[in-house]
């Protein structure tokens, strides 16, 4: 009951601040377009990169092609629109896979502690010794180009952060009186972990994970740009920018619009992350409440 009220306060605070509200709209729009874009793109064949129209090369933006056309005469608007689907898939795939690896490691290390915990966390630390994107680059270069490989490479460089977060949370939760009570009541370790530790330790992790989707999109685009991401002609935003690079001096729109799409989407996620972090922090929440509600 209390937790429900808290969530409502956080939500109402977000809706009341214009900047936070805008970010919520951006994120929702991105998700809606991402889900529906294969059905709504104006030129589906252009979007999937199957066509080649010599007479329509490098058309500047107009009503028929709002973002212009590219070097092969394909509609940039359609490709950017379909790109949102790929970004959504990548973001969900990377974060999901990272959680699937990170949560068990964090919970095991945190709950059992001792030697198991130390070994697991040392392995985690080894992954964190690499600059995050660099590990993804070397993995992607090893696995080869492709959507699935890109997701795997990013997820492997990503899970240690969640393992750490879950580890810290589990450590806090396992010392709570109700866990002691459950132990005294004779519950098995499995029951304690699944009924008490996981529900209480994972909420912050899931919030963090949802908001990391912006960064996942950004990094995937970066990998595609330097040639270790998805294969052409996949309309992934980073790859679209790199395709427009060669002709940027006389057809700026090919590289400009996909980059703008990345920027807006990631800004949406990051602003929302900011808003949630601020309104979930009780000290700051009090100040904001006073400001928003004027008491």
Partner 1 sequence: MPINREYLVKRLLLLIFVVIGVLFMTFIITRVIPARPELLWAGPHATIEQIKKAREQLNLDKPPHIQFILYLQDFFLGNWGVSWRTRSPILTDVLSSLTATLELIIVAFAIAFILGVPFGVVAAVKKYTWIDDLARIITVIGASIPVFWLALIAQLVFGTWLGILPSAKRVDEWVVIVTGFKQITGFYLIDSLIQGNFMVFIDSLKHIILPAVVLASYPFCLSARMTRAVMMEVLTEPHVRSLVAWGLPQRTIFFKYSLRNTLAPVIASIGLSFGYTIVGAFMVELVFVWPGIGFYAAMSLLSFDYPAVIGCVVIVAIFYCIINTVVDVIHSVIDPRVKL
Q: Which parts of this chain interact with partner 1 (CB under 8 A)?
A: 19, 125-127, 129-135, 137-139, 141-143, 214, 218, 221-222, 225-228, 238, 241-242, 245, 248-249, 252, 255-256, 259, 262-263, 266-267, 269-271, 274, 287-288, 291
Which residue number, 191 or 291, has a Cβ lying nearer to partner 1? 291
Beta carbon of residue 51, minimum distance to partner 1 (angstroms, whole number)? 25
Smallest distance from the beta carbon of 62 to partner 1, in angstroms?
21
Length of the chain: 295
Quote the least distance from Cβ 242 to partner 1, whole Å: 8
Which residues, 6 or more positions from 130, have their beta carbon under 8 angstroms from its beta carbon?
157
**Measured distance CA(225)–CA(240) in Å, rounded:** 8
Q: How far is the CB of 77 from partner 1 (least distance, A)?
A: 17
Helix, coil or strand: residue 78:
helix
Beta carbon of residue 132, minimum distance to partner 1 (angstroms, whole number): 7
Mutual angle of helices 76-112 and 147-174, in 10-degree steps: 40
66 CB neighbour count, 10 Å cutoff: 15
Nearer to partner 1, 46 or 278 (CB): 278
Phi and psi for 75 in degrees, rounded to 5? -70, 115
Q: Judge residue 22's burial from the number of C-beta atoms within 10 Å of its C-beta, 0-12 exposed, 13-18 middle, 19 or more buried.
A: middle
Is 50 or 134 the residue whose CB approaches partner 1 more closely?
A: 134
Beta carbon nearer to partner 1, 175 or 249: 249
């Amino acid at each position: 009951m209390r937790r429900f009220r808290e969530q409502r306060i956080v939500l109402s605070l977000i809706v009341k601040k214009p900047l936070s509200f805008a970010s919520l709209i951006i994120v929702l729009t991105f998700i809606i377009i991402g889900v529906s874009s294969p059905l709504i793109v104006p030129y589906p064949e252009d979007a999937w990169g199957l066509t080649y129209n010599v007479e329509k090369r490098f058309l500047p933006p107009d009503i028929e092609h709002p973002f212009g056309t590219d070097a092969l005469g394909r509609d940039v608007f359609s490709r950017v629109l379909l790109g949102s689907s790929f970004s959504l898939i990548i973001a969900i795939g990377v974060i999901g896979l990272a959680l699937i690896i990170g949560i068990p490691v964090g919970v095991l290390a945190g709950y059992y502690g001792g030697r198991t915990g130390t070994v697991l966390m040392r392995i985690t630390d080894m992954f964190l010794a690499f600059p995050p994107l660099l590990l993804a680059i070397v993995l992607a270069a090893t696995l080869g180009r492709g959507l699935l490989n890109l997701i795997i490479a990013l997820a492997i460089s990503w899970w240690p952060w969640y393992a750490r977060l879950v580890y810290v949370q589990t450590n806090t939760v396992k010392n709570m009186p109700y866990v002691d009570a459950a132990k005294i009541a004779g519950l098995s370790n499995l029951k304690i972990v699944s009924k008490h530790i996981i529900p209480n330790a994972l909420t912050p992790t899931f919030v963090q994970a949802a908001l990391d989707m912006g960064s996942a999109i950004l990094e995937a685009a970066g990998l595609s740009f330097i040639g270790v991401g998805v294969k052409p002609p996949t309309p992934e935003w980073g790859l679209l920018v790199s395709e427009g690079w060669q002709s940027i001096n006389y057809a700026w729109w090919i590289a400009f619009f996909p980059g703008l799409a990345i920027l807006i989407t990631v800004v949406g996620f990051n602003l929302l992350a900011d808003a949630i972090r601020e309104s979930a922090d009780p000290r700051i929440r009090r100040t904001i409440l006073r400001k928003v509600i004027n008491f």
